[in-house]
Amino acid sequence: MLSRGHKPLMSESEFVSINPASGNELARHPALSPAETQEKILCCHQAFLKWQKSSAQDRASALLAIATQLEGDREQLACLITQEMGKPLRESRSELDKCAWVCRHFAAMGQQYLHEDGIELDQSRADVIASPLGVIFAVMPWNFPFWQVFRALAPALMVGNTLVLKGASNVPGCSQAIETLVRQAGLPDHVVCNLAIRAANTEKVIANPLVRGVTLTGSEAAGRAVAALAGSHLKKCVLELGGQDPYIILDDADIALASQKCVQSRMLCSGQVCIAAKRLIVVESVYDAFRSAVLQRLESVHSGDPMDEQCSLGPLARRDLRDQVHRQVQASLGKGCELIQGGMIPDQPGWWYPATVLDNVQPGSVVFDDEVFGPVVSLVRAKDETEAIALANMSRFGLGAAIFSANRSRALALASQQLQAGSIAINDFVKSDPRVPFGGCKDSGFGRELGKLGIHEFVNFKSIVMAD
């Protein structure tokens, strides 16, 4: 057991799981050596040579088997997620349900998404055929240690690719559990391989000629590094990076609905969500009413043991992440922002941070300019709709956004013509859906996951022309 404030003893040869609710050690997992890593990639490639020849029906059946395995192991895996990264148990269950959904979706729709198109030419015909690329390297985060993996895994396997996974270092148990689960579902060995490696070792994986694509969900810094490496080796990559997501509350918004959705979004996973409602940009005429409604909503947010069914706000995933959020809040207070709730590190074991509200947030403050990965609500005042849109777009990020308005046509016009984001919700919070392409623009990355566009990312489209 670890005492509060002490880091676990570890080496490059192992990963240590820490319960963020207590700071206590859960388990140790061996790291792969460079030789073992390359051997796993080779095994994954050899599995690909066989997997690519399987029929679409067989791949769909395999995804359905994975979904069934997920549902059968739901409680055990949900406990693992909560223990390793701290989100409330009910959220962990929902995450696994979504993983099963994405598997079932691509099992049902994969063939249609990959349908061969025929093009009639002058004296010939061209067929466009979708073929798999090979081994895909997935570099995945800790905040959704199953969902982020499965939204890459399901379309990759349906296409006929195989997957090597580098999960985050603080959720090694989850990453290994995914490899085990796929094998238990009856899929061939090495179709999905867990690479228990450090971030510093990803370059050698990307450089391996057997790896044909890279998908990453993570920080802006990680995205830049991986994109540079993938580019230098001419590997296709998809990047889903950070967001500083604006949620705009217009003068005709339903305040009760808007406050409910914004608080729900911001507190999900203790605020550690890239598409959470981070900057709440509120038109002047409804600002005070909205602020009061938000504060009232936050009264029902309860922190506590994340294994407790009543818990709605768990700890942050690591101490360094908690401390960073606190530094961001404190730095913003020096830029004119007003603290009206929270903002203090509690004196208790674990990596806890309270639901925090900052008022009168201005451009130039950290909580306006940079992504804050914690339960921090930033209230931004706008004179009118025009200024609200300008403030929303005043960011290097472009991942998610939302508009709350009673006028759906007005909101749709603003979303389609003016807001700079990849995913936009109207009168709701942003969430990923297996049926809908997901991704960002600007410094939030490029490429798309999910839906038809997502399954097309790691495909070789062959144009085959046959003369009459």
Q: Is 441 a catalytic residue?
A: no
* Contact status, residue 185 vs residue 66, Cβ threshold 8 Å: yes
* Contact status, residue 343 vs residue 356, Cβ threshold 8 Å: yes
**Smallest Cα–Cα separation from 402: which of 315, 294, 278, 226?**
278
Residue 288 in tokens = 């005070």
Distances (CA, A) of 251 to 189, 258, 282, 292, 359: 57, 11, 8, 15, 18
Q: How far is CA 382 from the centre of its chain?
A: 29
Distances (CA, A) of 30 to 8, 10, 85, 183, 360: 15, 11, 19, 20, 48
Termini Cα distance of the chain: 74
Residue 164 in tokens = 């090597």
Name the strands in the sheet holding 246-249, side by side, starting at the edge strand that comes first in the sequence.
338-341, 356-359, 376-382, 279-283, 246-249, 400-404, 423-426
Q: Is 371 a catalytic residue?
A: no
Distances (CA, A) of 39 to 48, 117, 132, 149, 196: 14, 38, 21, 22, 13
Q: Given the residues 84, 179, 240, 371, select the one marked as catalytic.
A: 240
Q: Given the residues 274, 385, 449, 457, select the one marked as catalytic.
A: 274
* Contact status, residue 146 vs residue 102, Cβ threshold 8 Å: no
Angle between helices 89-113 and 147-159 (to 10 degrees): 20
* Contact status, residue 310 vs residue 302, Cβ threshold 8 Å: yes
Catalytic residues: 240, 274
